[in-house]
Structure 1
Amino acid sequence: MTTILITGASAGLGAEMARQFAARGNDLALCARRTDKLETLKAEILARHPDRRIEVRALDVTDDAAVFEVFRGFAADFGTLDRIVVNAGLGKGSPIGTGRYDANRETAMTNFVAALAQSEAAMEIFRAQGRGHFVMVSSMSAMRGMPKTMTTYAATKAGVAHLAEGLRTELYGKPIKVTVLYPGYIESEMNDRTENKNPLLVSTEKGVRAMVTAIEKEKESACVPPWPWAPMSTVMKHAPLPIFKRLI
Protein backbone atom coordinates (compact mmCIF):
# COMPACT_ATOMS: atom_id res chain seq x y z
CA MET A 1 0.00 0.00 0.00
CA THR A 2 1.32 3.43 -1.00
CA THR A 3 0.99 6.63 1.04
CA ILE A 4 0.47 9.72 -1.09
CA LEU A 5 0.62 13.37 -0.04
CA ILE A 6 -1.33 15.79 -2.26
CA THR A 7 -1.27 19.57 -1.88
CA GLY A 8 -4.18 21.69 -3.04
CA ALA A 9 -6.42 18.68 -2.37
CA SER A 10 -9.62 20.44 -1.35
CA ALA A 11 -11.09 20.76 -4.86
CA GLY A 12 -10.48 20.36 -8.57
CA LEU A 13 -7.63 18.17 -9.77
CA GLY A 14 -6.28 17.57 -6.27
CA ALA A 15 -9.58 16.32 -4.88
CA GLU A 16 -10.18 14.06 -7.87
CA MET A 17 -6.65 12.65 -7.59
CA ALA A 18 -7.45 11.81 -3.98
CA ARG A 19 -10.63 9.98 -5.01
CA GLN A 20 -8.92 8.00 -7.74
CA PHE A 21 -5.81 7.14 -5.73
CA ALA A 22 -8.01 5.93 -2.85
CA ALA A 23 -10.00 3.78 -5.25
CA ARG A 24 -6.71 2.17 -6.31
CA GLY A 25 -5.88 1.22 -2.73
CA ASN A 26 -3.68 4.07 -1.51
CA ASP A 27 -3.63 5.91 1.82
CA LEU A 28 -3.72 9.69 1.63
CA ALA A 29 -2.23 12.77 3.27
CA LEU A 30 -4.32 15.70 2.07
CA CYS A 31 -3.68 19.39 2.66
CA ALA A 32 -5.17 22.68 1.53
CA ARG A 33 -6.35 25.97 2.99
CA ARG A 34 -10.00 24.92 3.21
CA THR A 35 -10.18 22.26 5.89
CA ASP A 36 -13.99 22.09 5.70
CA LYS A 37 -13.70 20.87 2.12
CA LEU A 38 -10.92 18.46 3.09
CA GLU A 39 -13.09 16.95 5.82
CA THR A 40 -16.00 16.60 3.40
CA LEU A 41 -13.73 14.91 0.87
CA LYS A 42 -12.32 12.61 3.54
CA ALA A 43 -15.81 11.55 4.61
CA GLU A 44 -16.82 10.96 0.99
CA ILE A 45 -13.81 8.75 0.27
CA LEU A 46 -14.08 6.77 3.52
CA ALA A 47 -17.75 6.09 2.83
CA ARG A 48 -16.67 4.36 -0.39
CA HIS A 49 -13.38 2.91 0.88
CA PRO A 50 -13.57 2.39 4.65
CA ASP A 51 -10.24 0.56 4.74
CA ARG A 52 -8.29 3.59 3.54
CA ARG A 53 -6.37 5.79 5.94
CA ILE A 54 -6.75 9.51 5.29
CA GLU A 55 -5.12 12.32 7.27
CA VAL A 56 -5.87 15.99 6.59
CA ARG A 57 -4.07 19.18 7.59
CA ALA A 58 -4.62 22.85 6.85
CA LEU A 59 -1.94 24.39 4.65
CA ASP A 60 -1.43 27.71 2.93
CA VAL A 61 1.46 26.82 0.63
CA THR A 62 2.68 30.44 0.60
CA ASP A 63 3.54 30.05 4.32
CA ASP A 64 7.03 28.56 4.05
CA ALA A 65 7.29 27.44 7.66
CA ALA A 66 3.87 25.80 7.51
CA VAL A 67 4.86 23.81 4.41
CA PHE A 68 7.76 22.17 6.25
CA GLU A 69 5.69 21.67 9.40
CA VAL A 70 2.81 19.99 7.55
CA PHE A 71 5.02 17.75 5.38
CA ARG A 72 7.04 16.64 8.40
CA GLY A 73 3.82 16.11 10.34
CA PHE A 74 2.39 13.83 7.67
CA ALA A 75 5.66 11.89 7.53
CA ALA A 76 5.43 11.39 11.30
CA ASP A 77 1.75 10.38 11.05
CA PHE A 78 2.39 7.62 8.53
CA GLY A 79 6.01 6.78 9.29
CA THR A 80 6.79 7.14 5.60
CA LEU A 81 5.56 9.04 2.54
CA ASP A 82 5.91 7.12 -0.72
CA ARG A 83 4.74 9.81 -3.13
CA ILE A 84 4.31 13.59 -2.90
CA VAL A 85 2.28 15.48 -5.49
CA VAL A 86 2.95 19.23 -5.70
CA ASN A 87 -0.41 20.28 -7.08
CA ALA A 88 -1.46 23.51 -5.34
CA GLY A 89 -1.60 26.44 -7.72
CA LEU A 90 -3.29 29.66 -8.77
CA GLY A 91 -4.61 30.66 -12.18
CA LYS A 92 -5.06 34.42 -11.98
CA GLY A 93 -3.02 36.82 -14.08
CA SER A 94 -3.04 40.00 -16.13
CA PRO A 95 -1.15 41.24 -19.20
CA ILE A 96 2.26 42.51 -18.15
CA GLY A 97 2.36 46.28 -17.68
CA THR A 98 -1.38 46.84 -17.32
CA GLY A 99 -1.38 47.78 -13.67
CA ARG A 100 -2.02 44.39 -12.08
CA TYR A 101 1.41 43.47 -10.80
CA ASP A 102 -0.33 42.38 -7.60
CA ALA A 103 -2.20 39.59 -9.40
CA ASN A 104 0.88 38.45 -11.31
CA ARG A 105 3.04 38.51 -8.19
CA GLU A 106 0.47 36.42 -6.29
CA THR A 107 0.50 33.84 -9.08
CA ALA A 108 4.31 33.81 -9.17
CA MET A 109 4.61 33.41 -5.41
CA THR A 110 1.99 30.65 -5.24
CA ASN A 111 2.96 28.70 -8.35
CA PHE A 112 6.74 28.95 -8.18
CA VAL A 113 8.10 30.13 -4.83
CA ALA A 114 5.57 28.04 -2.88
CA ALA A 115 6.28 25.08 -5.17
CA LEU A 116 9.98 25.50 -4.36
CA ALA A 117 9.17 25.31 -0.64
CA GLN A 118 7.08 22.18 -1.23
CA SER A 119 9.89 20.67 -3.27
CA GLU A 120 12.40 21.38 -0.50
CA ALA A 121 10.11 19.83 2.12
CA ALA A 122 9.37 16.80 -0.04
CA MET A 123 12.98 16.13 -0.92
CA GLU A 124 14.06 16.51 2.70
CA ILE A 125 11.76 13.58 3.49
CA PHE A 126 12.77 11.50 0.47
CA ARG A 127 16.48 12.03 1.04
CA ALA A 128 16.08 10.90 4.65
CA GLN A 129 14.11 7.82 3.53
CA GLY A 130 16.42 7.09 0.63
CA ARG A 131 13.45 6.64 -1.69
CA GLY A 132 10.24 8.24 -2.89
CA HIS A 133 8.34 9.52 -5.90
CA PHE A 134 8.20 13.29 -6.46
CA VAL A 135 5.43 14.55 -8.76
CA MET A 136 5.22 18.11 -10.06
CA VAL A 137 2.01 19.32 -11.72
CA SER A 138 3.03 21.78 -14.43
CA SER A 139 0.86 22.73 -17.44
CA MET A 140 0.81 22.54 -21.22
CA SER A 141 1.28 26.32 -21.08
CA ALA A 142 4.86 25.61 -19.96
CA MET A 143 5.73 24.50 -23.49
CA ARG A 144 6.11 28.08 -24.73
CA GLY A 145 5.70 31.67 -23.55
CA MET A 146 2.02 32.60 -23.55
CA PRO A 147 0.38 35.99 -24.11
CA LYS A 148 -1.80 38.31 -22.05
CA THR A 149 -3.38 36.87 -18.88
CA MET A 150 -1.41 33.63 -19.30
CA THR A 151 2.07 35.15 -19.42
CA THR A 152 3.00 34.92 -15.74
CA TYR A 153 1.12 31.65 -15.19
CA ALA A 154 2.92 29.95 -18.08
CA ALA A 155 6.28 31.24 -16.88
CA THR A 156 5.70 29.78 -13.40
CA LYS A 157 4.71 26.43 -14.87
CA ALA A 158 7.84 26.36 -17.03
CA GLY A 159 9.83 27.19 -13.91
CA VAL A 160 8.45 24.35 -11.80
CA ALA A 161 8.92 21.90 -14.68
CA HIS A 162 12.61 22.82 -14.86
CA LEU A 163 12.88 22.59 -11.09
CA ALA A 164 11.65 19.01 -11.20
CA GLU A 165 13.74 18.16 -14.25
CA GLY A 166 16.84 19.37 -12.43
CA LEU A 167 16.04 17.02 -9.57
CA ARG A 168 15.53 14.17 -12.03
CA THR A 169 18.95 14.79 -13.56
CA GLU A 170 20.56 14.86 -10.13
CA LEU A 171 18.79 11.70 -8.95
CA TYR A 172 19.00 9.65 -12.16
CA GLY A 173 19.65 6.00 -11.36
CA LYS A 174 18.69 6.42 -7.70
CA PRO A 175 15.53 5.20 -5.93
CA ILE A 176 13.95 8.68 -5.85
CA LYS A 177 11.84 9.09 -8.98
CA VAL A 178 10.60 12.36 -10.49
CA THR A 179 7.53 12.89 -12.68
CA VAL A 180 6.41 16.12 -14.36
CA LEU A 181 2.81 16.31 -15.56
CA TYR A 182 1.69 18.74 -18.26
CA PRO A 183 -2.13 18.87 -18.08
CA GLY A 184 -4.05 20.29 -21.00
CA TYR A 185 -7.56 21.68 -20.63
CA ILE A 186 -9.15 19.79 -17.73
CA GLU A 187 -12.31 20.97 -15.97
CA SER A 188 -11.43 22.41 -12.56
CA GLU A 189 -12.14 25.31 -10.22
CA MET A 190 -9.48 27.26 -12.11
CA ASN A 191 -11.60 27.38 -15.28
CA ASP A 192 -15.17 26.65 -14.18
CA ARG A 193 -16.11 30.33 -14.38
CA THR A 194 -14.90 30.69 -17.96
CA GLU A 195 -17.82 31.57 -20.22
CA ASN A 196 -16.37 30.25 -23.48
CA LYS A 197 -15.36 26.67 -22.83
CA ASN A 198 -12.48 25.38 -24.94
CA PRO A 199 -13.57 22.52 -27.24
CA LEU A 200 -10.56 20.50 -26.03
CA LEU A 201 -11.73 20.70 -22.40
CA VAL A 202 -12.25 17.27 -20.81
CA SER A 203 -14.00 16.35 -17.59
CA THR A 204 -12.13 16.37 -14.31
CA GLU A 205 -12.57 12.62 -13.97
CA LYS A 206 -11.17 11.84 -17.44
CA GLY A 207 -8.29 14.29 -17.20
CA VAL A 208 -7.26 13.15 -13.74
CA ARG A 209 -7.48 9.50 -14.76
CA ALA A 210 -4.75 10.24 -17.32
CA MET A 211 -2.73 12.04 -14.64
CA VAL A 212 -3.05 9.18 -12.14
CA THR A 213 -2.13 6.59 -14.77
CA ALA A 214 1.03 8.50 -15.69
CA ILE A 215 1.94 8.92 -12.02
CA GLU A 216 1.50 5.24 -11.21
CA LYS A 217 3.67 4.32 -14.20
CA GLU A 218 6.29 6.74 -12.80
CA LYS A 219 6.70 8.38 -16.19
CA GLU A 220 9.43 10.99 -16.35
CA SER A 221 7.06 13.41 -18.04
CA ALA A 222 3.59 13.18 -19.52
CA CYS A 223 1.22 15.43 -21.42
CA VAL A 224 -2.24 14.60 -20.10
CA PRO A 225 -4.55 13.50 -21.53
CA PRO A 226 -2.11 12.13 -24.15
CA TRP A 227 -4.44 13.01 -27.02
CA PRO A 228 -4.26 15.67 -28.33
CA TRP A 229 -1.65 17.11 -25.97
CA ALA A 230 1.35 14.87 -26.67
CA PRO A 231 1.46 15.78 -30.39
CA MET A 232 0.32 19.31 -29.58
CA SER A 233 3.40 19.81 -27.40
CA THR A 234 5.63 19.54 -30.47
CA VAL A 235 3.49 22.02 -32.36
CA MET A 236 3.51 24.45 -29.45
CA LYS A 237 7.28 24.31 -29.12
CA HIS A 238 8.21 24.59 -32.77
CA ALA A 239 5.41 26.31 -34.73
CA PRO A 240 6.41 29.66 -36.26
CA LEU A 241 5.09 32.52 -34.16
CA PRO A 242 2.36 33.67 -36.61
CA ILE A 243 0.94 30.12 -36.65
CA PHE A 244 1.32 29.70 -32.90
CA LYS A 245 -0.62 32.93 -32.26
CA ARG A 246 -3.51 31.69 -34.39
CA LEU A 247 -3.54 28.36 -32.54
CA ILE A 248 -3.91 29.95 -29.13
Structure 2
Amino acid sequence: MAVRKNIVITGASSGLGEGMARKFAAQGRNLALCARRRDRLDALATELTERHPGIRVVVRQLDVNDHDRVFTVFEEFRAELGTLDRVIVNAGIGKGQPIGKGSFHANKQTVETNLVAGLAQCEAAVSIFREQNAGHLVVVSSFSALRGMPRNMTAYAASKAGISALADGIRVDLLHTPIRVTTVLPGYIESEMTHRSSGRTPLIADAETGVRALVNAIEKEPVRAYVPSWPWVPLSVLVRAVPARLLRRFV
Protein backbone atom coordinates (compact mmCIF):
# COMPACT_ATOMS: atom_id res chain seq x y z
CA MET A 1 0.00 0.00 0.00
CA ALA A 2 1.38 3.41 -0.98
CA VAL A 3 2.26 5.85 1.78
CA ARG A 4 -0.20 8.75 2.03
CA LYS A 5 2.36 11.54 2.16
CA ASN A 6 0.18 14.69 2.20
CA ILE A 7 -2.56 14.62 4.82
CA VAL A 8 -5.33 17.13 5.53
CA ILE A 9 -6.80 17.16 9.05
CA THR A 10 -9.76 19.38 9.90
CA GLY A 11 -10.41 20.37 13.49
CA ALA A 12 -6.67 20.08 14.07
CA SER A 13 -6.21 22.71 16.79
CA SER A 14 -7.13 20.40 19.69
CA GLY A 15 -8.23 16.93 20.73
CA LEU A 16 -8.04 14.02 18.33
CA GLY A 17 -7.10 16.26 15.39
CA GLU A 18 -4.09 17.70 17.19
CA GLY A 19 -3.09 14.25 18.41
CA MET A 20 -3.28 12.75 14.93
CA ALA A 21 -1.19 15.62 13.55
CA ARG A 22 1.58 14.81 16.02
CA LYS A 23 1.53 11.11 15.20
CA PHE A 24 1.57 11.60 11.43
CA ALA A 25 4.30 14.24 11.69
CA ALA A 26 6.44 11.75 13.60
CA GLN A 27 5.99 9.38 10.63
CA GLY A 28 7.38 12.01 8.26
CA ARG A 29 4.10 13.04 6.62
CA ASN A 30 3.36 16.52 5.30
CA LEU A 31 0.34 18.09 6.97
CA ALA A 32 -2.36 20.55 5.97
CA LEU A 33 -4.09 21.60 9.17
CA CYS A 34 -7.21 23.71 9.56
CA ALA A 35 -9.43 24.82 12.42
CA ARG A 36 -11.06 27.95 13.79
CA ARG A 37 -8.24 28.79 16.21
CA ARG A 38 -5.39 30.02 14.04
CA ASP A 39 -3.10 30.81 16.97
CA ARG A 40 -3.17 27.21 18.10
CA LEU A 41 -2.55 25.95 14.56
CA ASP A 42 0.46 28.24 14.19
CA ALA A 43 1.90 27.03 17.50
CA LEU A 44 1.34 23.41 16.51
CA ALA A 45 2.94 23.93 13.09
CA THR A 46 6.00 25.52 14.70
CA GLU A 47 6.31 22.66 17.18
CA LEU A 48 6.01 19.96 14.51
CA THR A 49 8.45 21.47 12.04
CA GLU A 50 11.01 22.01 14.80
CA ARG A 51 10.69 18.40 15.94
CA HIS A 52 10.55 16.97 12.43
CA PRO A 53 12.46 19.34 10.12
CA GLY A 54 11.96 17.16 7.05
CA ILE A 55 8.20 17.73 6.84
CA ARG A 56 5.99 20.56 5.57
CA VAL A 57 3.10 21.88 7.64
CA VAL A 58 0.66 24.37 6.13
CA VAL A 59 -2.25 25.84 8.06
CA ARG A 60 -5.46 27.73 7.39
CA GLN A 61 -8.05 29.20 9.68
CA LEU A 62 -11.34 27.51 8.83
CA ASP A 63 -14.82 27.35 10.27
CA VAL A 64 -16.22 24.28 8.50
CA ASN A 65 -19.69 25.82 8.62
CA ASP A 66 -18.43 28.34 6.05
CA HIS A 67 -18.99 25.84 3.27
CA ASP A 68 -17.60 27.87 0.39
CA ARG A 69 -14.38 28.41 2.31
CA VAL A 70 -14.02 24.66 2.87
CA PHE A 71 -13.68 24.22 -0.90
CA THR A 72 -11.27 27.16 -1.15
CA VAL A 73 -9.04 25.94 1.66
CA PHE A 74 -8.81 22.39 0.32
CA GLU A 75 -7.82 23.71 -3.11
CA GLU A 76 -5.21 25.97 -1.50
CA PHE A 77 -3.80 22.97 0.35
CA ARG A 78 -3.55 21.02 -2.90
CA ALA A 79 -1.83 23.95 -4.61
CA GLU A 80 0.74 24.18 -1.81
CA LEU A 81 1.45 20.45 -1.42
CA GLY A 82 0.92 19.32 -5.02
CA THR A 83 -1.50 16.50 -4.15
CA LEU A 84 -3.84 15.60 -1.31
CA ASP A 85 -3.31 11.96 -0.47
CA ARG A 86 -5.59 11.67 2.56
CA VAL A 87 -8.28 13.93 3.99
CA ILE A 88 -9.45 13.30 7.55
CA VAL A 89 -12.90 14.81 8.17
CA ASN A 90 -12.50 15.30 11.89
CA ALA A 91 -13.98 18.69 12.82
CA GLY A 92 -17.06 18.36 15.01
CA ILE A 93 -18.83 19.45 18.17
CA GLY A 94 -20.86 17.77 20.89
CA LYS A 95 -23.20 20.47 22.18
CA GLY A 96 -26.42 18.45 22.02
CA GLN A 97 -29.18 18.67 24.63
CA PRO A 98 -32.32 16.59 25.26
CA ILE A 99 -34.91 17.10 22.56
CA GLY A 100 -37.87 19.30 23.47
CA LYS A 101 -36.10 21.02 26.37
CA GLY A 102 -35.63 24.38 24.69
CA SER A 103 -32.18 23.81 23.22
CA PHE A 104 -33.01 23.63 19.52
CA HIS A 105 -30.19 25.98 18.54
CA ALA A 106 -27.56 23.84 20.30
CA ASN A 107 -28.91 20.70 18.62
CA LYS A 108 -29.13 22.47 15.26
CA GLN A 109 -25.54 23.63 15.55
CA THR A 110 -24.43 20.09 16.39
CA VAL A 111 -26.16 18.60 13.35
CA GLU A 112 -25.02 21.39 11.03
CA THR A 113 -21.39 21.09 12.12
CA ASN A 114 -21.13 17.31 12.28
CA LEU A 115 -23.26 16.42 9.25
CA VAL A 116 -23.81 19.35 6.86
CA ALA A 117 -20.29 20.71 7.26
CA GLY A 118 -19.03 17.13 7.08
CA LEU A 119 -20.78 16.83 3.72
CA ALA A 120 -19.00 19.98 2.51
CA GLN A 121 -15.64 18.51 3.52
CA CYS A 122 -16.40 15.20 1.81
CA GLU A 123 -17.55 17.00 -1.36
CA ALA A 124 -14.38 19.09 -1.47
CA ALA A 125 -12.09 16.13 -0.78
CA VAL A 126 -13.70 13.67 -3.19
CA SER A 127 -13.81 16.26 -5.96
CA ILE A 128 -10.03 16.55 -5.68
CA PHE A 129 -9.58 12.78 -5.40
CA ARG A 130 -11.65 12.23 -8.55
CA GLU A 131 -9.41 14.64 -10.47
CA GLN A 132 -6.30 12.93 -9.12
CA ASN A 133 -7.81 9.44 -9.50
CA ALA A 134 -6.34 8.70 -6.08
CA GLY A 135 -6.86 9.49 -2.42
CA HIS A 136 -8.07 8.28 0.96
CA LEU A 137 -11.13 9.85 2.59
CA VAL A 138 -11.37 9.28 6.35
CA VAL A 139 -14.59 10.21 8.14
CA VAL A 140 -14.39 10.42 11.93
CA SER A 141 -17.81 9.35 13.13
CA SER A 142 -18.57 8.03 16.63
CA PHE A 143 -19.52 4.83 18.40
CA SER A 144 -22.77 6.61 19.24
CA ALA A 145 -23.73 6.42 15.55
CA LEU A 146 -24.73 2.78 15.99
CA ARG A 147 -28.25 3.60 17.25
CA GLY A 148 -30.37 6.38 18.65
CA MET A 149 -29.06 7.66 21.96
CA PRO A 150 -30.89 9.39 24.83
CA ARG A 151 -30.57 12.77 26.56
CA ASN A 152 -27.65 15.00 25.53
CA MET A 153 -26.47 12.50 22.92
CA THR A 154 -29.63 12.35 20.80
CA ALA A 155 -28.78 15.01 18.22
CA TYR A 156 -25.07 14.19 18.37
CA ALA A 157 -25.67 10.48 17.68
CA ALA A 158 -28.05 11.34 14.85
CA SER A 159 -25.46 13.62 13.25
CA LYS A 160 -22.79 10.92 13.49
CA ALA A 161 -25.15 8.29 12.11
CA GLY A 162 -25.73 10.62 9.18
CA ILE A 163 -22.05 11.17 8.44
CA SER A 164 -21.46 7.40 8.71
CA ALA A 165 -24.19 6.74 6.16
CA LEU A 166 -22.73 9.45 3.93
CA ALA A 167 -19.32 7.78 4.04
CA ASP A 168 -20.90 4.40 3.26
CA GLY A 169 -22.62 5.85 0.19
CA ILE A 170 -19.45 7.53 -1.04
CA ARG A 171 -17.61 4.24 -0.63
CA VAL A 172 -20.16 2.38 -2.74
CA ASP A 173 -20.04 5.09 -5.39
CA LEU A 174 -16.25 4.80 -5.59
CA LEU A 175 -16.02 1.03 -5.82
CA HIS A 176 -13.57 -0.13 -8.51
CA THR A 177 -11.64 3.17 -8.30
CA PRO A 178 -8.30 3.82 -6.58
CA ILE A 179 -10.05 6.06 -4.03
CA ARG A 180 -10.46 4.52 -0.57
CA VAL A 181 -13.02 5.50 2.08
CA THR A 182 -12.69 4.69 5.78
CA THR A 183 -15.16 5.35 8.58
CA VAL A 184 -13.70 5.38 12.09
CA LEU A 185 -15.98 5.16 15.10
CA PRO A 186 -14.14 6.20 18.26
CA GLY A 187 -15.43 5.23 21.64
CA TYR A 188 -14.65 7.40 24.64
CA ILE A 189 -11.22 8.97 24.15
CA GLU A 190 -9.94 11.72 26.42
CA SER A 191 -10.25 15.10 24.67
CA GLU A 192 -11.84 18.50 25.09
CA MET A 193 -15.14 17.08 23.84
CA THR A 194 -15.20 14.13 26.24
CA HIS A 195 -13.76 15.99 29.22
CA ARG A 196 -17.12 16.12 30.94
CA SER A 197 -17.52 12.35 30.56
CA SER A 198 -14.08 11.34 31.81
CA GLY A 199 -15.11 11.40 35.46
CA ARG A 200 -18.14 9.12 35.07
CA THR A 201 -17.16 6.33 32.69
CA PRO A 202 -14.50 3.66 33.27
CA LEU A 203 -14.37 3.03 29.51
CA ILE A 204 -12.57 6.22 28.53
CA ALA A 205 -9.13 5.76 26.95
CA ASP A 206 -6.35 8.22 27.64
CA ALA A 207 -5.52 10.54 24.77
CA GLU A 208 -2.24 8.84 23.87
CA THR A 209 -3.79 5.36 23.69
CA GLY A 210 -6.81 6.60 21.77
CA VAL A 211 -4.91 8.63 19.20
CA ARG A 212 -2.39 5.85 18.61
CA ALA A 213 -5.26 3.41 17.97
CA LEU A 214 -6.93 5.92 15.67
CA VAL A 215 -3.82 6.50 13.56
CA ASN A 216 -3.02 2.78 13.40
CA ALA A 217 -6.55 2.06 12.19
CA ILE A 218 -6.46 4.81 9.57
CA GLU A 219 -3.14 3.57 8.22
CA LYS A 220 -4.67 0.16 7.51
CA GLU A 221 -7.41 1.84 5.43
CA PRO A 222 -10.27 -0.48 6.43
CA VAL A 223 -13.88 0.11 5.46
CA ARG A 224 -14.83 0.64 9.12
CA ALA A 225 -12.91 0.64 12.39
CA TYR A 226 -13.92 0.90 16.05
CA VAL A 227 -11.17 2.55 18.10
CA PRO A 228 -9.72 1.53 20.42
CA SER A 229 -10.72 -1.98 19.33
CA TRP A 230 -11.08 -3.04 22.98
CA PRO A 231 -13.68 -2.73 24.36
CA TRP A 232 -15.52 -1.08 21.44
CA VAL A 233 -15.57 -3.98 18.95
CA PRO A 234 -17.45 -6.34 21.31
CA LEU A 235 -19.57 -3.45 22.60
CA SER A 236 -20.62 -2.68 19.02
CA VAL A 237 -22.45 -6.01 19.01
CA LEU A 238 -23.94 -5.50 22.46
CA VAL A 239 -25.18 -1.95 21.98
CA ARG A 240 -27.21 -2.90 18.92
CA ALA A 241 -29.00 -5.66 20.84
CA VAL A 242 -29.54 -4.13 24.28
CA PRO A 243 -33.15 -3.10 25.04
CA ALA A 244 -33.86 0.62 24.99
CA ARG A 245 -34.67 0.71 28.72
CA LEU A 246 -31.17 -0.57 29.52
CA LEU A 247 -29.53 1.69 27.00
CA ARG A 248 -31.16 4.68 28.69
CA ARG A 249 -29.78 3.62 32.07
CA PHE A 250 -26.17 3.23 31.05
CA VAL A 251 -25.57 5.84 28.35
Which TM-score tier does this pair reach, normalised by the shorter chain? over 0.9
- In 1, distance between residues paired with 2:217 and 2:177? 19
- In 1, distance between residues paired with 2:71 and 2:173? 22
- In 2, distance between residues paired with 1:197 and 1:133? 36
> What TM-score, normalized by structure 1, do the two folds share?
0.97
Equivalent residue for 1:78? 81
Q: Among the aligned pairs, what percent are the same residue? A: 55
- Displacement after TM superposition at 1:217 (Å): 0.5
2:108 is aligned with 1:105 = yes
- Displacement after TM superposition at 1:197 (Å): 3.5
The 5-angstrom pairing of residues 87-98 of structure 1 reads: 87-98=90-101
- In 1, distance between residues paired with 2:197 and 2:168? 31
Gaps of 5+ in 2: none
Equivalent residue for 1:238? 241
Instruction: Choose which of 15, 19, 40 in structure 2 pairs with 1:16.
Output: 19
Instruction: Choose which of 116, 121, 127 in structure 1 pairs with 2:130.
Output: 127
SS of equivalent to 1:189: coil
Please, which moves more after superposition, 40-49 or 11-20? 40-49
- In 1, distance between residues paired with 2:197 and 2:224? 28
- In 2, distance between residues paired with 1:117 and 1:177? 18
Equivalent residue for 1:207? 210
Q: Which amino acid aligns with 2:36?
A: R
Q: Which amino acid aligns with 2:58?
A: E
Equivalent residue for 2:119? 116
The 5-angstrom pairing of residues 18-97 of structure 1 reads: 18-97=21-100
Aligned length: 248
Q: Which amino acid aligns with 1:5?
A: V
Alpha-carbon distance change, 194 to 246 in structure 1, aligned in 2, over 3 angstroms: closer
- In 1, distance between residues paired with 2:249 and 2:235? 14
**RMSD (Å), alpha carbons:** 1.1
- In 2, distance between residues paired with 1:185 and 1:153? 14
1:180-236 deviation per Cα after TM superposition (whole angstroms, max 9, x unaligned): 000000011112244734111111111011110111100110000000000100111
- Displacement after TM superposition at 1:240 (Å): 2.3
2:244 is aligned with 1:220 = no
| Runs of 4+ residues deviating >6 angstroms | none
1:100-124 deviation per Cα after TM superposition (whole angstroms, max 9, x unaligned): 1010011011011100100100011
SS of equivalent to 2:195: coil
Q: Retained in 1: the 8 A contact 2:198–2:204?
A: no
